Amino acid sequence: KNEVEQSPQNLTAQEGEFITINCSYSVGISALHWLQQHPGGGIVSLFMLSSGKKKHGRLIATINIQEKHSSLHITASHPRDSAVYICAAVSNSGYALNFGKGTSLLVT
């Protein structure tokens, strides 16, 4: 089973700060998802990536498949970014998804 670790578990930031959330996994994967869960409970897919970097607005996701590590960056953070961010590692078969425990972000 692929162990997926996220850090930090909790993060508080001031509005405008640059934020980084990390995700590491124990075995080789084919891709990785980043999800955002709003305080109301809804889940939104942010990125699915298998190499390099993707950018959407103020969000940037990077992955290094060989080093088994991915990061999610938020530039110019805003209180509306407050949410739980979850990474999910995709097995090489493409079928299995293993989730991290999430990073709870509060921007004040």
Partner 1 sequence: DTAVSQTPKYLVTQMGNDKSIKCEQNLGHDTMYWYKQDSKKFLKIMFSYNNKELIINETVPNRFSPKSPDKAHLNLHINSLELGDSAVYFCASSQGGLAGLYEQYFGPGTRLTVT
Q: Which residues of 20-46 are buried (b: 16+ CB within 10 A; e: fewer)?
A: ebebbbeeebebbbbbbeeeeeeeeeb
96 near partner 1 (CB under 8 A): yes
Tokens 């930090």 — which residue?
8
Q: Are 64 and 82 in contact (CB under 8 A)?
A: no
Q: Does 4 help bind partner 1 (rule: CB under 8 A)?
A: no
Q: Which stretch binds partner 1 (CB under 8 A): 11-19, 51-59, 64-72, 98-106?
A: 98-106
User: By CB under 8 A, is residue 67 in contact with partner 1?
Assistant: no
Residue range at the interface with partner 1 (CB under 8 A); choices 17-25, 58-66, 72-80, 82-90: 82-90
Give the length of the chain. Answer: 108
- Which residues sit at the interface with partner 1, rule CB under 8 A? 30-31, 33, 37, 41-45, 48, 84, 86, 88, 90-91, 93-97, 99, 101-102
